[in-house]
Amino acid sequence: MTGLDDTDLSTWIRTENKAIWEAMQTHRFVTDIEKEQLPREVLCRYFFFEHAFVETAVQIFAYALLKAPGFAQRRRLIATLSALSEAQLVWFQDCFASLGIGQTGEALPPAVTAFAEGMLAIARDGDYADIVAIMLAAEWMYGTWCVRAHRRPSAEPMLRSWVQLHAEPEFLDGADWLRAEVNREAARLNDAQRARLATLFGRALQLEIDFHEAAYDSTWPVPKAEGNA
Ligand SMILES: Cc1ncc(CO)c(N)n1
C-alpha cells in the first residue's frame, strides 16, 4: 500500500475491496428490498438464518472483549454483547411470531454455516484488529444499504423494523466505533499487516454475499410455526 497520507486505514481497506463491496451493495437481497419485491419466503429464510447467527455474533464479540487492548474497548463491547443477547433476541421473538416462523431440526445451508464458522475462526485465531476489521465489514455494509433502503420504508412491518434498526444512530455509532478502532490500530501495523486486514475485510464480505444468497435457496424449507401451515 502507499501509506495513509491522505486517507485513513478503514477508507483504504474499503477502497481495496471496492468490487466486492459493490457486489454486496447491489446484491439481489438488497435491491429486492429497495424495490419492495423481496419474496416473503426469502425474508423468512433470511430471518431464520439471522436469528441462528446471534449466538455466533456474541462469541465473536466475546473474543474481541478478551483480546481488546484496554478497558475502554471492553466497556463498549459489553454494551454490544448485552444488546445482542437481550434486545436483539426479544426482537426475533416478535419477528418469528409476526411472520409465523417456527423451529426446525433441518441443518442450516452450507453458506450459512460457512459464514458463522468463517467469521468465528477469524475471531478465534486472529487478534483484536482482525476482529474489528471483519465486524466493520459486516456493520459498515449493513449501515450503508439500510440507510439507503430506509428512505422508502417497507410496508412489511418486521422488514421495515429490521432495516430501521440498522439505519438508526445506535447501530451507526457502533459501526463508526469499529471504524475508529481500525484506524487507531493502524498506527502499530506495518504495511503487510494493513494489507492483511484488507484481505480479511474482503473475506468477510464474500461470506456475507454467500450468506444472503442462501436465503434464495428454495430447497431449504422455511420452518412454519404451529397453526401457520
Ligand atoms: C449477516 C449479517 N451481517 C451483518 C449484520 C449487521 O450487524 C447482520 N445483522 N447480519
Q: Are the C-beta atoms of 4 and 187 separated by less than 8 Å?
A: no
Checking if the pLDDT of 203 tops 80, the result is yes
ipTM over 0.90: yes
For residue 48 and ligand 1, the question of a CB distance below 6 A is answered with no
For residue 198 and ligand 1, the question of a CB distance below 6 A is answered with no
pLDDT for res 7:
76
Taking the CA of residue 142 as reference, the ligand 1 atom at the shortest distance is 6
Separation of 187 CA from ligand 1 center, angstroms?
Answer: 28
Checking if the pLDDT of 102 tops 90, the result is yes
Q: Which residues, 6+ apart, have CB-to-CB distance to 75 below 8 Å?
A: none
Checking if the pLDDT of 227 tops 70, the result is no
For residue 46 and ligand 1, the question of a CB distance below 6 A is answered with no
Instruction: Give the span between the Cα atoms of 181 and 173, in whole angstroms.
Output: 12
pLDDT for res 9:
97
Band of the pLDDT at 5, cuts 50, 70, 90? very low
Instruction: Give the span between the Cα atoms of 172 and 151, in whole angstroms.
Output: 15
Checking if the pLDDT of 1 tops 80, the result is no
Query: What count of Cα atoms within 13 Å lies in the side-chain half-sphere of residue 195?
Result: 6
Q: First vs last Cα of the chain: how many Å apart?
A: 56
Average pLDDT, the chain: 95
Grid cell 478478551 is found at 66
The CA–CA distances, whole Å, from 196 to 4, 62, 152, 186 equal 15, 22, 37, 12
Separation of 125 CA from ligand 1 center, angstroms?
Answer: 21
Band of the pLDDT at 182, cuts 50, 70, 90? very high
For residue 142 and ligand 1, the question of a CB distance below 6 A is answered with yes
Checking if the pLDDT of 14 tops 60, the result is yes
Q: Which residues are catalytic?
A: 208
Instruction: Give the span between the Cα atoms of 38 and 69, in whole angstroms.
Output: 42
Q: What is the pTM of this model?
A: 0.95
Beta-carbon neighbour count of residue 208 at 10 Å?
A: 22
Separation of 2 CA from ligand 1 center, angstroms?
Answer: 31
Q: Which residues, 6+ apart, have CB-to-CB distance to 76 below 8 Å?
A: 177
Query: Mind listing the pLDDT tens digit for each residue in 27-42?
Result: 999 999 999 999 999 9
Band of the pLDDT at 4, cuts 50, 70, 90? very low
At residue 134, the 3 state secondary structure works out as helix
Query: Mind listing the pLDDT tens digit for each residue in 129-169?
Result: 999 999 999 999 999 999 999 999 999 999 999 999 999 99
For residue 210 and ligand 1, the question of a CB distance below 6 A is answered with no
- For atom 4 of ligand 1, the residue with the nearest CA is 138
Right CATH number for 9-214 from 1.10.3720.10, 3.40.50.920, 1.20.910.10, 3.30.70.580?
A: 1.20.910.10
Query: Mind listing the pLDDT tens digit for each residue in 78-89?
Result: 999 999 999 999
Query: What are the cell numbers at 186?
Result: 493502524
